[in-house]
Amino acid sequence: MSASQKGSFAVLLVDDSEDDRLFLRLALRDNPRLVVVGELCDGEEAISYLSGRGEFADREKYPFPDVMLLDLKMPRKTGYDVLTWLRAQSLNDLVVIVISGSFLPEDISRSLALGATAYHRKAMLKEEREVLFVEIEGSLAMRQR
């Protein structure tokens, strides 16, 4: 049974900063419907995880996420590389939220053009985190219809 069938949603965190992943994990603790199922350090790992390759082939241990929180600036493959790869896949039910330290208009527009559901800045206030979680759940609810 998937997380969404249990009334919760599986979240994959992809960010090269351990501190930023910790911050997101702590913020997600306040929302029991959003359950972290994996944490990755770069885009190459994200693509392997999503495609179920190598160590990520076991979907019991590495369940496919309902939502991915994705950083842009990472080693090996960037968030842009992941978004570009996703465009060529049939993973339309995956909600991808970019969470980046950059608030440059060109980063926002490029991320959305490549298929990200939304774009948020990393240094979020509590109110902004609440908006993020509402947006995630709204996006997931729309995709389940």
User: What's 49's domain CATH number?
Assistant: 3.40.50.2300
Q: Which domain holds residue 56?
A: 4-144
The beta-strand segments (E) located in the chain are: 9-14, 34-40, 67-70, 95-100, 118-121
The answer to whether the beta carbons of residues 141 and 117 sit under 8 Å apart is no
Least confident of 2-6, 86-90, 122-126, 127-131: 2-6
- Pick the closest to residue 27 from 144, 132, 102 (CA basis): 132
Q: Is the pLDDT of residue 12 over 80?
A: yes
The pLDDT value given to residue 124: 65
Structural domain count of the chain: 1
- Pick the closest to residue 66 from 7, 130, 16 (CA basis): 7
The pLDDT value given to residue 27: 83
Phi, psi of 41 (to 5 degrees): -105, -10
Report yes or no on whether pTM surpasses 0.75: yes
Mean local confidence (pLDDT), 109-119: 94
Mean local confidence (pLDDT), 36-59: 96
Q: Which amino acid is at 70?
A: L
The pLDDT value given to residue 18: 93
pLDDT band at 6 (very low <50, low <70, confident <90, very high): low
